[in-house]
Amino acid sequence: MRWFRKKKDRSFGKQGATEENVQLQTYAPNLGLTPQEYLVPLTLAEFEADFDRRAAVFLEKTNPDANNGSYYDALILAVRQEALDALALQRADHVGAIMALIEKIWSGDRIKCDAKLAAHRAELDEVNRDLARLTRIYHAGTALEEEDEETYEKAD
C-alpha cells in the first residue's frame, strides 16, 4: 500500500535552502515579465507587530468587563477590511502591469504580421502581373488574343 504512505514535505520554506536567481522564459526577450509578490499592507503589519502592547495598555486603562469585550473585534475587523482593500488595489496594479506587457507583445506581433502581409500582397501583385504577361504571350496570334486584352485591361 504505497499510496497511503506519508509524503515528504516539499515546501519551499525549508531550512538551509538558498535563493537562486531563476531565468524566466518570456515570449519577447526585450520585455521584463517578472512575477510580483503581494506585500502585507502596512496597517496590518503595524497592527500585528504592536498588538500585544496595545492590548496590554487597553486592558490596564479600561478595566473591561463582559459588556465591552467586543471592542477589539470591531478594531480587528476594520484593520482586516483595510488590509483586504489594500490587497485588492495591489491585485489591480498587478493585473494592469500584466495586461500592459501583453498589449506590448500583441502590438509587436501585429507590426510583424502587418509587414508580412504587405510583403505577401506585393508578391501576389507581382505574380498576377507575371501571369497576365505570360497569358498574353501564350495567346498571342490566336483567336483568344483580343478577348484576353479586354479581360486583363479591366483587371488592371
Is the predicted pLDDT of residue 10 greater than 60, yes or no? Answer: no
Q: Is pTM, for the whole model, over 0.75?
A: no
In a domain, 19, yes or no: no
Q: Which positions ≥6 away from 40 have C-beta within 8 Å? A: 83
Contact 136, 149 (CB under 8 A): yes
Torsion angle, alpha carbons of 139, 140, 146, 151, to 10 = 50
In a domain, 20, yes or no: no
In a domain, 2, yes or no: no
Q: Which positions ≥6 away from 9 have C-beta within 8 Å? A: none
CA atoms within 13 A on the CB side of 33: 17
What tens digit of pLDDT does each residue of 63-121 get? 777 777 677 788 889 999 999 999 999 988 888 888 888 888 888 889 999 999 999 99
Q: Which residue has the cell 476594520?
A: 78
In a domain, 90, yes or no: yes
In a domain, 56, yes or no: yes
In a domain, 118, yes or no: yes
The predicted pLDDT at position 35 comes to: 62
Average pLDDT over every residue of 10-30: 56
Q: Produce one character per residue of 106-123: b if its CB has 16 or more CB atoms within 10 Å, e if not.
A: eeeeeeeeeeeeeeeeee
Q: Domain containing 82: what range?
A: 39-155
Query: How many domains does the chain contain in total?
Result: 1
Tell me the angle at which helices 71-139 and 51-62 cross, rounded to the nearest 10 degrees: 150
In a domain, 113, yes or no: yes
